[in-house]
Amino acid sequence: MVSKPHLSGEGSLMLLSLSISAAFLMEGLDSTIMVSAIPAIATDFGIEPLRINLALSIYLMTLAAVIPASAWMADRFGAKRVFLWAMAAFMLLSIGAAMAQNLTTLVVMRALQAVAGALMTPIGRLLLIRAAPKDQLASAIAWMSTPALIGPVLGPLIGGYVVTYLSWHWIFFVKIPFGVAGLVLAARLLPPDTVGERYNFDLQGFVYCAAFLGATQMLLEQLVHVFLPMPVIMAMLAALPICALSYARHMRTRAAPVLDLTLLKLRLFRIGFFGGGLSRLGFNTLPFLFQLQLQIGFGWSAADAGWIVFIVAASAIALKPMMRRVLAQLGFKMTLLGNAMLGAVTIALIGFIKPDTPIALTICVVFLFGAMRSLQFNTTNTLLFADIPRARQSASTSLGGVGQQLSMGLGISVAAVLVAQLQDMGINVPAHAISVSIFITAALTAVSGLIFLGLKHADGADVSRHRAYIAGS
């Protein structure tokens, strides 16, 4: 039995968490920063802007499809080694994307970037789970998760300024310094790889999962804007149940399937997976909708709207020390249930914001939402791994990563579809359609809170340090 590596001191663990978080920051920025540059890239390549969406869609599709392979890569070649190589490859491929002279090259570079990203973030999470003592896991994940919350919100703001004052090529360079710093620190702080169990790669299962996840991500993109011919869309729809049923049969014959769905039999993981996925959908949809509201509904500039939405990220940083205290005081059940309900109320309040709402009031409500979003994400991420045996940690990070990736993609798609459908139903004023969409998002967030009723007050007390149960144990 391989002993779990422990870091000396909470300060060292925090530094390791931040070094690993550089991977999450790069991946989070990369998934959104390119949106601001679409018109500039299209002009440079001499093509229609909508064709640039292929680079975005291929990136998301490849990311979702390759994540299931991360667990085997970590166990076969060593988690630390694969993580460091993936970070280095991600940065080199970012430089390659910046140097692209045509759409084909850009799409290829983005697809290869996604392969590196699909290995980088799940394995980074795995390394932190292995390194952190249980009573420090919540704190470590909170520090590691902050960039994952900031990146998608910060991306459009940075992208807008970069494209306006520099050139679109720089959107791929701005994340490199963070990556280099994280790579150097992680190489020094991560414990050496240990020899784990060797097993054959589940290629057949990987093909089923990759086809299912890739098709799912592409179909989500069609909800926002249809760019594939209808026969292709119908083929992907038909492929979903075929791949799902084929994988379900195949998984029963494998000792180490590429995605271990039996993890869903573990109660805490199951609640964290489904409850966290639904709450992540709601909390990720709001920033996208509110940016639309400020720009399309209220007529703000992209830069001004970006600064308001950036407050969501700023609050996650400012209130980070409070997060662990809340979890210790209330435990997983009350934190996740109560925060989901309060988050739903806050999202609804944002839906009532009008062009003449005092800016100070708007900032206060958005700041409150950002704090709740951060608390919910950090806590659900911790709950996922609160009771996972060491032998199944690799598998849990793969399945958890797939769930998070799909919920993020679904959140943006749901936001865009809600607005479009409400306008088709007769709500012609964009600001009104977006407000109604925000109210629906609030309802979805409240529903996610009900899933956490399945938790017990003592669940995960050794991870949350829930005082009432630690004292009584």
Q: Which helix (H) or strand (E) holds 84?
A: helix 79-98
309 shares its domain with 389: yes
In a domain? residue 222: no
The candidate with the shortest Cα–Cα distance to 313, out of 156, 134, 131, 94, is 156
In a domain? residue 248: no
190 shares its domain with 48: yes
Alpha-carbon separation of residue 110 from 52, 192, 226 (angstroms): 11, 31, 21
188 shares its domain with 277: no
170 shares its domain with 26: yes
Q: Is the dihedral of CA 438, 444, 446, 448 positive or negative?
A: negative
Task: Please check whether residue 431 is in contact with residue 293, taking contact to mean a CB–CB distance below 8 angstroms.
Answer: yes
pTM of the model: 0.74
Indicate the SS3 state at residue 459: coil
192 shares its domain with 266: no
CA distance 171 to 162: 7
Q: Which two tokens stand for residue 255?
A: 């000792």
Which of 211, 228, 258 marks a domain boundary?
258
Taking each continuous run of H as one helix and of E as one strand, the counts in the chain are 18, 0
In a domain? residue 112: yes
Task: Please check whether residue 140 is in contact with residue 14, taking contact to mean a CB–CB distance below 8 angstroms.
Answer: yes
Identify the burial level of 279 via C-beta atoms within 10 angstroms of its C-beta, where 0-12 means exposed, 13-18 middle and 19 or more buried: buried
CA distance 73 to 388: 19
**Using the 8-state DSSP alphabet, how is residue 425 labeled?**
T
Which of 234, 258, 282 marks a domain boundary?
258
Task: Please check whether residue 280 is in contact with residue 385, taking contact to mean a CB–CB distance below 8 angstroms.
Answer: no
28 shares its domain with 142: yes
Task: Please check whether residue 373 is in contact with residue 276, taking contact to mean a CB–CB distance below 8 angstroms.
Answer: no
The candidate with the shortest Cα–Cα distance to 2, out of 137, 197, 189, is 197
Which of 213, 240, 258 marks a domain boundary?
258
Identify the burial level of 37 via C-beta atoms within 10 angstroms of its C-beta, where 0-12 means exposed, 13-18 middle and 19 or more buried: buried
281 shares its domain with 188: no
152 shares its domain with 76: yes
How many domains is the chain built from?
Answer: 2
CATH of the domain at 81: 1.20.1250.20
Q: Which one-letter amino acid corresponds to residue 274? A: F
User: What are the pLDDT tens digits along the chain (473 aa)?
Assistant: 344 444 545 557 777 777 787 787 787 777 667 766 766 787 888 877 656 666 776 787 788 778 888 888 888 888 888 999 999 999 999 999 889 888 888 888 988 998 998 888 888 888 877 777 776 777 777 667 666 666 666 676 777 777 777 888 888 888 888 888 888 888 888 877 765 566 678 888 888 888 887 788 778 767 666 667 888 888 889 989 999 899 888 888 887 788 888 888 888 888 988 998 888 888 888 887 887 788 778 887 766 776 777 787 777 766 666 777 887 788 888 999 999 999 999 999 999 999 889 999 999 999 899 888 888 888 888 888 777 777 777 778 778 877 777 777 677 667 767 776 676 676 666 778 888 888 989 998 999 999 999 888 887 777 767 665 554 44
∠ CA(161), CA(166), CA(167), 5° rounding? 100
Buried b (16+ CB within 10 A) or exposed e, 360-372: eebeebbbbbbbb
**pLDDT for the residue 6:** 47
**pLDDT for the residue 195:** 59
Q: Which two tokens stand for residue 61?
A: 């599709």
439 shares its domain with 362: yes
Task: Please check whether residue 134 is in contact with residue 462, taking contact to mean a CB–CB distance below 8 angstroms.
Answer: yes
In a domain? residue 1: no
Task: Please check whether residue 401 is in contact with residue 125, taking contact to mean a CB–CB distance below 8 angstroms.
Answer: yes
CB atoms within 10 A of CB 3: 7
Task: Please check whether residue 201 is in contact with residue 76, taking contact to mean a CB–CB distance below 8 angstroms.
Answer: yes
Q: What are the start-end ranges of the E strands in 165-264?
A: none
Q: Give the domain range for residue 69.
A: 7-202+254-258
In a domain? residue 237: no
Cα Rg, the chain, nearest whole Å: 21
In a domain? residue 333: yes
364 shares its domain with 443: yes
Alpha-carbon separation of residue 464 from 137, 323, 373 (angstroms): 8, 11, 18
User: How far from each other are the two terminal CA atoms of the chain, in whole angstroms?
Assistant: 27
Q: Which residues contact 382 (CB under 8 A, 6 or more apart)?
A: 137, 138, 141, 142, 327, 332, 460, 463, 464
CA distance 462 to 135: 6
In a domain? residue 242: no
In a domain? residue 120: yes
**pLDDT for the residue 197:** 61
The candidate with the shortest Cα–Cα distance to 281, out of 226, 343, 239, is 343
**Using the 8-state DSSP alphabet, how is residue 460 labeled?**
T
332 shares its domain with 408: yes
CA distance 152 to 25: 9
